[in-house]
Amino acid sequence: MIAAELVVRDLASVATLAPGPVPRVGTTMSDLGIVEGGAVAVDQGRVVWVGPARRLSSEVRLRPGARTVDGQGGSAVPGFVDPHTHVLFSGDRADELSLRAAGATYAEIARQGGGLFSTVRATRRASDARLLRETEGRLRRMAAAGTTTVEVKSGYALEHVGELRLLRLIPRLARRTGLRLVPTYLGAHAVPPELRRRPDAYVRSIVERTLPAVAREGLARFCDVFCEPGFFSVASSERILRAARDLGLGLKVHADEFVASGGARLAARLRAASADHLLATPPGDRRRLASAGVTAVVLPVTAFASAARRSPARELVDEGVAVAVGSDCSPNTWVEGIPGVLAAAVHGGRLTPAEALTAATVNAAHALGLSDAGTIEAGRPADLAVFPVPSPSSLGYRFDVRPSVVLRQGKPVSPP
């Protein structure tokens, strides 16, 4: 008999997302590994058993004092993995919506010193305590909506000391929230205003000073670059990413968000872990991602909030690219809960609900290099969410469905 200290039962279904190839591509994205009428048993933070509820009592022994969680006929899914966020910032940019309404674009607002640069000013000014408090609130709301793993990028300090400060806050946020956080160094988010006329000096300081410090202190698992005209050229992006790879960091690219910048092609050439956004990627470059095994991270809320475009999620799946989906939570695209992002991926990106769920779990974990997240499987961390819906396909269909239970390592996440 398998011993358990917690059991989740009375579930219409468990979408295990296991077994199967990782990452999922093409038709394999539709196989959710559903157990109908399932139950999940947890011990010491890990799943120890998942199967049909009728076999539970003969295969699982409850430890004295074990807890039973009533799934109330809902659907269990793996805790969401959000593979792309800028959640660590201070302030907000609500005042810019009137400029947007008058037709100004993200890049135009940034050129006038607003947008990203107003967040840089607010973040540089904010104390550690303030940054921790504001970001912790966002992370707790993400968790309450079903997310248990979050990639967190730096990128709102844009100078050596400030970027290191942001990265050092990430483990503290993980301890405070209990979430699994994956840190990414994004010093190359934009050229800071004080070096606007000397962008090469900023690239040099990233390559020669900040990246080695990040690697020495083990502050980030990935290095990311905003590869776009007016931000970082393909040549500068490649210089930064090659230096990061030499230091042992994984690679990510903000690619082709506004124009076909060559970012996806660069990600394919360097065999990056992921290429993200891809709104303007030409079909030939999408196929390069497929053959290089680069995961495409689509950010469907940003597609309409920032660029007024349709997410190319459907095309990427049909072309055989491994697709993951993320929130892009930032002061520009302030979305915290993955359920709304799934709905945007389905209604805007034309994924099926099953494909979207795969993209937000097992494929998102793959985009972060995590082999033990994004599934409900014996031996893996007990990270899961129960939604009060009859089947997981209601996720992606309904925009604002909220889970009744969220477990991270077998413990209910505390409300925000």
Please tell me the count of residues contacting Zn ion according to CB under 5 A. 1
When the beta carbons of 326 and 337 are compared against Zn ion, the nearer one is: 326
**x-marked contacts with Zn ion along 252-281 as a string, rule CB under 5 A:** ------------------------------
* Min dist. Cβ of residue 254 to Zn ion (A): 5
When the beta carbons of 49 and 80 are compared against Zn ion, the nearer one is: 80
Q: Nearest Cα to 228, choosing from 199, 206, 194?
A: 199
* Min dist. Cβ of residue 297 to Zn ion (A): 9
CB 151 within 8 A of CB 223: no
What number of CA atoms fall less than 13 Å from residue 321's CA on the CB side?
33
* Min dist. Cβ of residue 86 to Zn ion (A): 6
**x-marked contacts with Zn ion along 89-128 as a string, rule CB under 5 A:** ----------------------------------------
Within 17-130, strands assigned E span: 34-36, 38-43, 46-52, 60-78, 80-82
Query: DSSP states of 179-241 as a string?
Result: -EEEEEEEEETS--GGGTT-HHHHHHHIIIIIHHHHHHHT--SEEEEEEBTTTB-HHHHHHHH
Cα 66 from Cα 331, distance rounded (Å): 42
Cα 27 from Cα 21, distance rounded (Å): 11
* Min dist. Cβ of residue 31 to Zn ion (A): 29
Give the Å distances, CA to CA, from 90 to 237, 238, 251: 26, 29, 26
CB 290 within 8 A of CB 277: no
Q: In Å, how far from its chain's centre is CA 412?
A: 21
Cα 271 from Cα 292, distance rounded (Å): 6
Both tokens of 369, joined, read: 């290099």
* Min dist. Cβ of residue 222 to Zn ion (A): 12
When the beta carbons of 126 and 227 are compared against Zn ion, the nearer one is: 227
Q: Name residue, tokens 């709104």.
A: 279
* Min dist. Cβ of residue 198 to Zn ion (A): 25
* Min dist. Cβ of residue 87 to Zn ion (A): 11
**x-marked contacts with Zn ion along 207-226 as a string, rule CB under 5 A:** --------------------
Q: Candidates 40-48, 165-173, 321-329, 370-378 — which segment interacts with Zn ion by CB under 5 A?
A: 321-329
When the beta carbons of 149 and 375 are compared against Zn ion, the nearer one is: 149
Cα 314 from Cα 355, distance rounded (Å): 10
When the beta carbons of 252 and 408 are compared against Zn ion, the nearer one is: 252
Neighbours of 170 (CB within 10 A): 23
* Min dist. Cβ of residue 308 to Zn ion (A): 17
Q: Candidates 88-96, 135-143, 203-211, 322-330 — which segment interacts with Zn ion by CB under 5 A?
A: 322-330
When the beta carbons of 82 and 328 are compared against Zn ion, the nearer one is: 328
When the beta carbons of 118 and 375 are compared against Zn ion, the nearer one is: 118
* Min dist. Cβ of residue 296 to Zn ion (A): 14
* Min dist. Cβ of residue 33 to Zn ion (A): 30
Q: Candidates 229-237, 311-319, 325-333, 353-361 — which segment interacts with Zn ion by CB under 5 A?
A: 325-333
When the beta carbons of 13 and 333 are compared against Zn ion, the nearer one is: 333
Q: What angle do CA 359, 323, 185 make, to 5 degrees?
A: 90
When the beta carbons of 285 and 328 are compared against Zn ion, the nearer one is: 328
Q: Candidates 33-41, 190-198, 326-334, 372-380 — which segment interacts with Zn ion by CB under 5 A?
A: 326-334
Q: Candidates 16-24, 229-237, 323-331, 332-340 — which segment interacts with Zn ion by CB under 5 A?
A: 323-331
Q: Which residue is nearest to Zn ion (CB)?
A: 328
Q: Nearest Cα to 354, choosing from 32, 34, 27?
A: 32
Q: Candidates 91-99, 207-215, 328-336, 392-400 — which segment interacts with Zn ion by CB under 5 A?
A: 328-336
CB 224 within 8 A of CB 186: yes
Distance in Å from the first CA to the final CA of the chain: 37
Is the link from the previous residue into 23 a cis peptide, with omega within 30 of 0? yes
* Min dist. Cβ of residue 256 to Zn ion (A): 13
When the beta carbons of 74 and 263 are compared against Zn ion, the nearer one is: 263
Binding positions for Zn ion, 343-382, rule CB under 5 A: none
Q: Using CB under 5 A as the criterion, which residues of the chain lie in contact with Zn ion when the complex forms?
A: 328
